[in-house]
Amino acid sequence: MTSPVRMRPEHPESRRVDELLSTFSLVSAGRPADPDATLTGVTLASSEVVPGDLFVAVPGLKVHGAAYAAQAVAAGAVAVLTDATGAGDAAHLDVPVLVSDDPRSLAGPVAAWVYGAPATELVTVGVTGTNGKTTTTYFLDAALRAAHALTAVLGTVELRVGEEAIESPRTTVEAPALQAILALARERGATAVAMEVSSHALALGRVRGLTFDVVGFTNLQRDHLDFHGDMDGYFRDKARLFASGQARRGVVVVDDEWGRRLVAQSPIPVESVSTHVGADVAADWTVVAADIGLDGVGSSFVLRGPDGAEHDAASPLPGLVNVSNAALAIVLAHAAGVDLDVAIDAVAHAHEIPGRMERVIERDERWPLALVDYAHTPDALVLALEAVRPITPGRLVLVFGSDGDRDQGKRPIMGEIAARLADVIVVTDENPRSERPEVIRSAILDGVRAIRPDLTDVHEATSRAQAIRDALSLATAQDTVIITGKGHEPTQEIAGVFHRYNDRDVLQAAYAAGPDQRAEQHA
Ligand SMILES: CC(=O)N[C@H]1[C@@H](OP(=O)(O)OP(=O)(O)OC[C@H]2O[C@@H](n3ccc(=O)[nH]c3=O)[C@H](O)[C@@H]2O)O[C@H](CO)[C@@H](O)[C@@H]1O[C@H](C)C(=O)N[C@@H](C)C(=O)N[C@H](CCC(=O)O)C(=O)O
Ligand SMILES: Nc1ncnc2c1ncn2[C@@H]1O[C@H](COP(=O)(O)OP(=O)(O)OP(=O)(O)O)[C@@H](O)[C@H]1O
């Protein structure tokens, strides 16, 4: 995977180590700070150190970063910021060691300081929620692009500044990497940034040191309970984005109780958006009518603003959830200073988003329609299947699995959903990680069996690529094949190894091999 190291300013500002000490009231351990020593960057990972960096050594869930301080210094780190425990390990190093009670929380503010507070020169918008962050962020970027000459978009799919993009290592990068990217964006002349903010990022302080101009909330659904404990804990972590000092104002979708709770308790001013037509939820912005296009291309809807004026709008992706994402993106862009009509028009014409209801094979007389979607939670799976049903004259063929080392409870639930809403099911692997893949598949199949005890039209494939080929060979041209769970992901993680793998590539290779090959497989 490409590292975010490349996303750094070419001409960084420099800061003196002794100033860092006084600005953040740090205690010095080990060698005293040389008054001439300067810092030009910050990192949390020894493997990403660039000469001139401050290495922030934090206590992790697995190891203490201070164990890698010597490696960081060998790679060019000029100082180490750590806690009292880490200071013991780092004291012998030939660089100043600065001590704080909570170096992880300081990493963002310190990086913002080193890079010269880049966010203050950018319009910054952050989007959180279980589902829809990526989609909303891309819709939002389309609207920001209509008003700004250059923008950046940061999230699960990629880290993009203008036309320069790299694969993203995760949804929200570590705080120092984020500040470096913001500094690069500013250096390149970008004036607006749309980014996804995961609950892990909020829990681990990755957006500290950045005050967003506007933040958005999509929804809260069951996910990541392995990390956050329960839904209340998950909500508390998400709600951290809506805090004074973290954001100036917010926009919240109030379709679920969590959104309504967030509005009720938010310490920052928020606007609410209700997107379920007829739900009768009081909100500042309301989707009062929606025409969910049966062509699977998109939907049109009417958005009523706080002044009562009604606006014709559209989502370029199918399904009700994308009406919700489009409405949120429009209101976020407007709150971030984009003219409302400009935002509505730009969102309606937003480009396709990798792995989000992405149509890879179009239906013709020989091929089924085949799509890739990132749905990997029970609710998202329901929505994805419901979105494609109206555009499926024949049977709905679903290929899916569930991640290893992640929430185990959702496996049978997703199996049940598949059995209820799809006609033909191919259960396969997602990212098994350290778990045995057959154990994961078996948990999913338990759920399938609860609805379809005889397992009619249910298949199991040990290789995901084979599962996709199987699905294509099972499908007729009237059917729709939908592959959920991995979306744009460029790798599959099996037993600690990341294999290059992408659902879209497999579909395209099968398509390139031709329908005859498909028929042969069928035979
Ligand atoms: C659960 C979680 O988020 N863990 C994060 C946490 O890891 P950790 O506390 O276990 O760190 P550790 O491995 O003990 O290492 C401690 C410190 O030593 C450093 N280190 C470690 C080894 C080394 O060789 N050199 C080195 O410098 C590490 O960079 C780290 O700073 O801190 C590390 C950096 O400080 C993160 O890289 C790591 O994210 C891991 C990789 C991860 O997979 N996170 C996922 C779950 C995540 O954040 N996902 C969300 C999206 C979720 C979603 O919505 O789907 C995301 O934003 O991507
Ligand atoms: N507003 C929404 N409500 C519920 N489900 C949605 C919504 N938007 C998208 N989805 C479903 O969730 C899946 C993930 O969408 P998207 O990638 O936009 O979300 P995300 O928040 O970025 O997810 P992740 O954090 O896992 O990367 C989509 O493939 C779709 O099936």
Report the SS3 class of residue 222.
coil
In sequence order, what are the residues at sequence separation of 6 or more whose Cβ sits closer than 8 angstroms to the Cβ of residue 363?
Answer: 369, 477, 480
Does residue 226 carry a pLDDT above 60? yes
Q: CB of 328 closer than 6 A to ligand 1?
A: no
Which atom of ligand 2 lies nearest, measured to the CA of 127?
21
Q: Is residue 110 part of a domain?
A: no
Same domain flag for 381 and 437: yes
Residue 201 vs residue 279, higher pLDDT: 201
132 among annotated binding-site residues: yes
107 CA from centroid of ligand 2 (Å): 29
The H helix count followed by the E strand count for the chain is 18, 26
Same domain flag for 484 and 448: yes
Does residue 1 carry a pLDDT above 60? no
293 CA from centroid of ligand 1 (Å): 41
Q: Is residue 210 part of a domain?
A: yes
Same domain flag for 369 and 454: yes
Model confidence over 114-160: pLDDT tens digits? 999 999 999 999 999 998 999 999 999 999 999 999 999 999 999 99
- Domain range for 90 is 4-105
Does residue 303 carry a pLDDT above 60? yes
Q: CB of 153 closer than 6 A to ligand 2?
A: no
Predicted pLDDT of residue 523? 47
Which atom of ligand 2 lies nearest, measured to the CA of 383?
31
- Residue among 128, 135, 331 whose CB has most ligand 2 atoms within 8 A, to mutate: 135
Same domain flag for 11 and 91: yes
Q: CB of 21 closer than 6 A to ligand 1?
A: no
Residue whose tokens read 């909303």? 136
131 among annotated binding-site residues: yes
Q: CB of 201 closer than 6 A to ligand 2?
A: no
225 among annotated binding-site residues: no
Give the ligand with the smallest distance to the CA of 381. Answer: 2
Number of domain units in the chain: 3
502 among annotated binding-site residues: no
Categorize the per-residue pLDDT at 310 as very low, low, confident or very high, splitting at 50, 70 and 90.
very high
Q: Is residue 509 part of a domain?
A: yes
Residue 29 vs residue 122, higher pLDDT: 122
Same domain flag for 367 and 487: yes
Interatomic CA distance for residues 406 and 11, integer angstroms: 40
Q: Is residue 37 part of a domain?
A: yes
Residues paired with 359 in a beta bridge: 371
* Model pTM above 0.90: no
Same domain flag for 344 and 362: no
Predicted pLDDT of residue 225? 60
Same domain flag for 323 and 461: no
Does residue 232 carry a pLDDT above 90? no
Indicate the residue among 56, 73, 105 that finishes a domain: 105
What is the rounded average pLDDT of the residues 459-473?
Answer: 97
Query: The domain that contains 134 carries what CATH number?
Result: 3.40.1190.10
| Per-residue tokens: 508 | 């395209």
Q: Is residue 111 part of a domain?
A: no
Query: The domain that contains 362 carries what CATH number?
Result: 3.90.190.20
Does residue 518 carry a pLDDT above 70? no
Interatomic CA distance for residues 313 and 332, integer angstroms: 14
Predicted pLDDT of residue 2? 46
Q: CB of 132 closer than 6 A to ligand 2?
A: yes
445 among annotated binding-site residues: no
Give CA separation, 233 vs 267, 407, 483, in Å: 18, 15, 31
- Any alpha helices (H) in 59-197, and if so which ranges? 69-74, 84-90, 103-114, 133-147, 175-188
Q: Is residue 113 part of a domain?
A: no
Same domain flag for 94 and 134: no
357 CA from centroid of ligand 2 (Å): 10
Average pLDDT over the chain reads 93
Give the range among 75-84, 243-252, 371-380 with minimum mean pLDDT: 371-380
Report the SS3 class of residue 381.
helix
Indicate the residue among 81, 105, 129 that finishes a domain: 105
Portion of the chain with pLDDT greater than 90, in percent: 81
Same domain flag for 394 and 515: yes
Phi, psi (rounded to 5 degrees) for 409: -60, -25
Q: Is residue 315 part of a domain?
A: yes
Q: CB of 137 closer than 6 A to ligand 2?
A: no
204 CA from centroid of ligand 1 (Å): 9
Same domain flag for 337 and 376: no
Portion of the chain with pLDDT greater than 70, in percent: 95
Q: CB of 135 closer than 6 A to ligand 2?
A: yes
Phi, psi (rounded to 5 degrees) for 392: -120, 100
At 220, the amino acid letter reads: L
Find the distance separating the first CA and the last CA of the chain, reported in whole Å: 39
Q: CB of 433 closer than 6 A to ligand 1?
A: no
What is the rounded average pLDDT of the residues 400-404?
Answer: 97
Model confidence over 178-216: pLDDT tens digits? 999 999 999 999 999 999 999 999 999 999 999 999 999
At 483, the amino acid letter reads: I
Same domain flag for 368 and 326: no
What is the rounded average pLDDT of the residues 93-113?
Answer: 96
Give CA separation, 7 vs 10, 169, 175, 196, 198, in Å: 9, 12, 13, 17, 20
Q: Is residue 353 part of a domain?
A: no
Which atom of ligand 2 lies nearest, measured to the CA of 376?
13
339 phi-psi bin (left φ>0, alpha ψ -120 to 50, beta other): beta
Same domain flag for 78 and 221: no
206 among annotated binding-site residues: yes
Query: The domain that contains 79 carries what CATH number?
Result: 3.40.1390.10
Predicted pLDDT of residue 395? 98
Q: CB of 324 closer than 6 A to ligand 2?
A: yes
Interatomic CA distance for residues 252 and 247, integer angstroms: 13
Predicted pLDDT of residue 96? 93
Indicate the residue among 348, 369, 386 that finishes a domain: 348
136 CA from centroid of ligand 1 (Å): 25
133 CA from centroid of ligand 2 (Å): 6
Q: CB of 201 closer than 6 A to ligand 1?
A: yes
